[in-house]
Amino acid sequence: MRGFTRSAAVLSAAAVVAAGCTGGADGAAGPAPTELRLAIGGESEEGYDPTLGWGRYGAPLFQSTLLTRDADLGIANDLATNHSVSSDGLVWTVDIRTDAEFTDGTPLTARDVAYTFTTAARSGGLTDVTALKEAVAVDDDTVELRLTAPQSTFVNRLVSLGIVPQHAHGPDYARKPVGSGPFVLEQWDEGQQLIVRRNDGYYGAKPAFERVVFVFTGEDATLAAARSGQVDVAALPSSLAGSPVPGMELVRVTSVDNRGIMFPYAPDTGRKSAAGHPIGNAVTSDKAVRQAVNAALDRRALVDGVLAGFGSPATGPVDGLPWHEPASAVPDNDPDRARQLLESAGWTDADGDGTRERGGVRAEFTLLYPAGDSLRQGLALAVADMLEPVGVAVTAKGESWEVIRTRMHADAVLFGWGSHDPTEMFNLHHSALAGTELWNPGFYASAEVDAHLDAAMAATDPEQATAHWKAAQHDGRGNGFGPAADAAWAWLVNLEHTYFVDSCLDVGEPGVEPHGHGWPITSGIVGWRWKC
């Protein structure tokens, strides 16, 4: 049981304290525990520096952000007391609260905000601040964030980027962070546990727990810890969430954490990427094949079978979010429609071997997934089974990410994405980003879609931005990256994140969670309370 060996004494003590929540031998309720133990994965191996990407999923815990999202994904103030955007979209002005201090007692000012955004922009970290031209502290409590071009999604940087202190942001900061958030990092035993304590100087509502311990365990060890009462919250995959755990309740959280098939969009002409990797696929470059796959798949069966019911069918990358376009979806579980699309495009099974051909090319492709990911493996194998009856042969193959990166421009890949930020839509589908890192690996290209994505990013009116995000998926005139048009992907399922939670712990109503990196459930941890 990795992660429990060095802290066995602490675990034992925690179990005793937790038992006190339900009452002693005489049945009287004891005091509520002051320590919370979480086994929710997500150890940040790079450390806890927001300028390098920490905190972009969930909450940075040790640092504060300018803005935050409520459970309905609405924007609310945190460090900011007000923010505005210039009419040309180039200047974001933010007023900062004056009662926030870092845990070393130093006041947090606009200079720290300007420093944080400037450093994040220069670091090339996982929080994308590349649109920033400069950040200027106008006075102690006002900062101007000046952009190189309008970016409607820049508000998400104000939500996700934790503010660091200019005076204490050194080389070892990632492992010894100083911030103004609700918690302070006390101890980090890498690969085993992270211990944090309540920041009693925090300007906001104080957490109910003096200390929170994050234990880093594999799935089986996490389940064992939950069953033995050693943790208060345990994150487990759907495959392990079906059996009840005594003393704990299963909490199912809706997410936009999706899984989908990325199709190589370009034809195979022998072209190579800058890194020398092959680009293009003779089968998936045909729109009829991509549309047929989308029509044939039974997504409800994927949810019920592979996800054990813990999820929902996916029609696109942003299902259920304000910028989702429902008209981009197509009816699925329709093999007759899939056969009709293939026949009309000239894909026929002339030799009777069960796989269609056209011009000497068989309707077959390889579907790669990360080796060791049992969920994606299950989805890939199920997809292959569903497509065989319509005459499309799929070979599901698990590979390392190193291999996938060399093949993803030429072979279909089962990816996972999902964000509260529509920038992800832009990155996955804009032709200018084709082949950049993991963005648009299939080299999808559409002038109409590019125009809508560019307009969405440049819009200064949120409603106009949303209209263009929707039109990029389906514009009502046959254009769009969604299944009803170009079918650049076949989106499969949206996961439900499943947590076993101590029956005495109230975690409130979790909001829609993004892709499952980090600790998304902790975005509401300040409001968690014992209820018995």
pLDDT band at residue 30 under the 50/70/90 scheme: low
Neighbouring CB atoms inside 10 A of 264's CB total 26
518 compared with 359, residue with greater pLDDT: 359
pLDDT at 58 over 90: no
pLDDT at 130 over 50: yes
In 3D space, the residue among 160, 196, 118 whose CA is nearest the CA of residue 423 turns out to be: 160
Tokens of 129: 């601040």
Q: Which residues contact 416 (CB under 8 A, 6 or more apart)?
A: 257, 258, 259, 260, 376, 515
Bridge partner list, 311: 495
- Identify whether the C-beta of residue 477 lies closer than 8 Å to the C-beta of residue 486: no
CA atoms within 13 A on the CB side of 441: 22
HEC string for 327-385? HHCCCCCCHHHHHHHHHHCCCECCCCCCCCEECCEECEEEEEEECCCHHHHHHHHHHHH
- Using the Cα atoms of residue 255, residue 522, residue 225 and residue 19 in order, give the sign of their dihedral: negative
> For 360-401, what is each residue's pLDDT tens digit?
999 999 999 999 899 999 999 999 999 999 999 999 999 999
pLDDT at 10 over 60: no
Measured CA to CA, the distance from residue 345 to residue 286 in angstroms comes to 9
Measured CA to CA, the distance from residue 285 to residue 266 in angstroms comes to 5
Q: How many angstroms separate the most distant Cα atoms in the chain?
A: 81
pLDDT band at residue 33 under the 50/70/90 scheme: confident
- Identify whether the C-beta of residue 414 lies closer than 8 Å to the C-beta of residue 408: no
Q: Which residues contact 59 (CB under 8 A, 6 or more apart)?
A: 65, 68, 181, 519, 522, 523, 525
pTM over 0.85: yes
pLDDT at 457 over 90: yes
> For 202-230, what is each residue's pLDDT tens digit?
999 999 999 999 999 999 999 999 999 99
Strands 183-189, 364-370: pairing kind:
unpaired
H-assigned helices in 395-442:
401-407, 423-429
For the chain, what is the total number of helices (H) and then of strands (E)?
12, 21
pLDDT, averaged across the chain: 92
Tokens of 285: 């470059």
Neighbouring CB atoms inside 10 A of 109's CB total 21
Helices 287-296 and 335-344, interaxial angle, to 10°?
170
Q: What is the structure's pLDDT at 111?
A: 98
